[in-house]
């Protein structure tokens, strides 16, 4: 059913298809050749480059920018991929404004950093579009490794292990590989089915078999995996979603933001995704911003993003916060959900204002809502897992867990930031340790 943006209720097709296409266009389009050369020319090629230190995957940023500047973007891409095999997606989704670009000397001196993220995309897109894979697989070792989870950590581990000649089986609970890159990233950050194309390109090195619909639990246990494989890497992410803890949160229209983003990413047509007139997103991270912005782009009339702490405590970067505001999202801070109100379905949601220490002030506010998206963090799911550190799998510096022969990395492992680029680094580093262990 197609209706106008002023129609009540949760419906699909609030906007015409041409308007949706414009709204969900590439957030940072690829640089043209001349633009890339001009952007690369701004780099000082620092010897002790702070941008490299700020990159979780330790990419040699001055080197790859110099390679772009000298007209060899394919070489630049290989420099990137040698450290980050998912450098194409990371160029699209990394919060570069709080990592490499934040510490760029140009940013410090002029308030305008070198566009490292867009230059990285420029180089990686050129090489990937050529169909060439920059690495060759070593001679087979006869070793078999199971990677549970086909997200960034698992894919990075699988690629590095396959490159060393090991046979890798990747097991994932979903119907497609890619993890959050495929199911959890805003559509305007990854257009033209890029996540799936990147997986296909990564797998072209050979030696990697992907089996979908396989999750830990039931017939697939850690004991069985360690018996059948020489090593196991867990990159299972965080499958559960935290509860609001608010009265009435089981009402219709109260949904998980991650599920909403996933539905949108997998939709054959953007106009088929239902969206409310008055949407409230609860949370302060990247997922909350992605959900709020996309709700607005789908045609929601009023979208509010509500966070329980102050704006300076939000996990979403300043760029992401500004992006949300520029799309018409209202950001409300220091407000905690208290009750979801409605007769069967949500009609309003009540918040109580909080102090900086989260203590309640007694003052409340109600927001009209026919759709509420929860983006308040995810939780680890699975049985028979290695020892935990808090709510995640305990690991050492190389990703080893409490179980002999089992490593872990990415969002499911304790100690790291919940970022795609961090997950890639942890998967890569665990793979290096697995290889060293198996070949010692």
CATH number for the domain that contains residue 335: 3.50.50.60
365 and 249, same domain (yes or no) = yes
Mean pLDDT over 5-23 rounds to: 84
Asked whether the beta carbons of 128 and 204 are under 8 A apart, the reply is no
Distance between CA 365 and CA 62 in Å, rounded?
A: 50
Q: Please indicate, yes or no, whether the overall pTM of this predicted structure exceeds 0.85.
A: yes
279 and 370, same domain (yes or no) = yes
348 and 248, same domain (yes or no) = yes
What confidence score (pLDDT) does residue 391 get?
93
Distance between CA 250 and CA 253 in Å, rounded?
A: 9
Q: Is 383's pLDDT higher than 90? A: no
Q: Is residue 22 part of a domain?
A: no
Mean pLDDT over 136-160 rounds to: 98
385 and 351, same domain (yes or no) = no
Task: pLDDT band for 9, please (50, 70, 90 cuts).
Answer: confident
220 and 246, same domain (yes or no) = no
What confidence score (pLDDT) does residue 8 get?
59
- What does the pLDDT look like over 207-234, one tens digit per residue? 999 999 999 987 789 999 999 999 999 9
Q: Is 302's pLDDT higher than 50? A: yes
Boundary residue ending a domain (324, 351, 376): 376
53 and 95, same domain (yes or no) = yes
Q: Could you tell me the CA-to-CA distances from 39 to 10, 33, 57, 98, 253 in Å, in that order? A: 44, 10, 22, 19, 46
What confidence score (pLDDT) does residue 1 get?
37
What confidence score (pLDDT) does residue 7 get?
39
151 and 172, same domain (yes or no) = yes
Q: Is 373's pLDDT higher than 70? A: yes
227 and 155, same domain (yes or no) = yes
391 and 372, same domain (yes or no) = no
Q: Is residue 64 part of a domain?
A: yes
Boundary residue ending a domain (97, 129, 161): 129
Number of domains forming the structure of the chain = 3
The whole-chain average pLDDT of the chain stands at 95
Distance between CA 233 and CA 220 in Å, rounded?
A: 14
CATH number for the domain that contains residue 57: 1.10.1060.10
Q: What percent of the chain has pLDDT over 70?
A: 98
Q: Is residue 16 part of a domain?
A: no
What confidence score (pLDDT) does residue 6 get?
38
Domain that holds residue 251: 242-376
């Amino acid at each position: 059913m197609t209706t106008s943006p002023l129609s009540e209720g949760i419906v699909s097709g609030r906007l015409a298809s041409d308007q949706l296409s414009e709204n969900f266009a590439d957030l940072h389009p690829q640089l043209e050749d001349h633009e890339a050369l001009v952007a690369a020319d701004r780099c000082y090629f620092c010897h002790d480059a702070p941008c490299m230190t700020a990159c979780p995957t330790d990419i040699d940023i001055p080197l790859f920018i110099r390679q772009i500047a000298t007209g060899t973007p394919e070489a630049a891409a290989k420099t990137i991929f040698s450290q980050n095999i998912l450098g194409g997606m990371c160029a699209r989704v990394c919060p570069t404004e709080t990592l490499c670009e934040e510490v760029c000397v140009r940013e410090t001196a002029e308030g305008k950093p070198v566009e490292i993220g867009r230059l990285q995309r420029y180089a990686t897109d050129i090489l990937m579009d050529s169909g060439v894979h920059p690495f060759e697989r070593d001679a087979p070792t006869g070793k078999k490794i199971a990677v549970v989870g086909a997200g960034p950590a698992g894919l990075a581990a699988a690629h590095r292990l396959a490159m060393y000649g090991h046979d890798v089986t990747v097991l994932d609970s979903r119907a497609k590989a890619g993890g959050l890159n495929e199911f959890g990233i805003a559509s305007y950050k990854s257009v033209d089915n890029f996540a799936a194309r990147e997986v296909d390109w990564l797998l072209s090195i050979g030696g990697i078999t992907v089996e979908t619909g396989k999750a830990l639990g039931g017939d697939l246990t850690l004991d069985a995996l360690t018996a059948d494989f020489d090593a196991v890497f867990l990159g299972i992410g965080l499958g559960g979603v935290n509860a609001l803890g608010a009265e009435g949160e089981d009402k219709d229209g109260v949904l998980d933001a991650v599920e909403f983003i996933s539905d949108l990413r997998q939709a054959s047509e953007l106009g088929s995704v239902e969206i409310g007139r008055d949407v409230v997103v609860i949370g302060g991270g990247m997922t909350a911003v992605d959900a709020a912005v996309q709700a607005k782009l789908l045609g929601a009339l009023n979208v509010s993003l509500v966070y329980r702490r102050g704006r300076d405590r939000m996990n979403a970067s300043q760029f992401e916060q500004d992006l949300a505001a520029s799309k018409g999202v209202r950001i409300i801070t220091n407000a905690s959900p208290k009750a979801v109100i409605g007769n069967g379905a949500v009609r309003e949601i009540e918040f109580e204002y909080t102090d900086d220490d989260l203590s309640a002030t007694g003052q409340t506010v109600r927001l009209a809502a026919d759709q509420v998206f929860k983006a308040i963090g995810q939780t680890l799911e699975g049985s028979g897992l290695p020892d935990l550190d808090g709510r995640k799998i305990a690991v050492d510096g190389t990703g080893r867990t409490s179980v002999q022969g089992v490593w872990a990395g990415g969002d499911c492992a304790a100690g790291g930031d919940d970022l795609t680029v961090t997950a890639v680094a942890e998967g890569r580093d665990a793979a290096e340790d697995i290889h060293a262990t198996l070949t010692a």
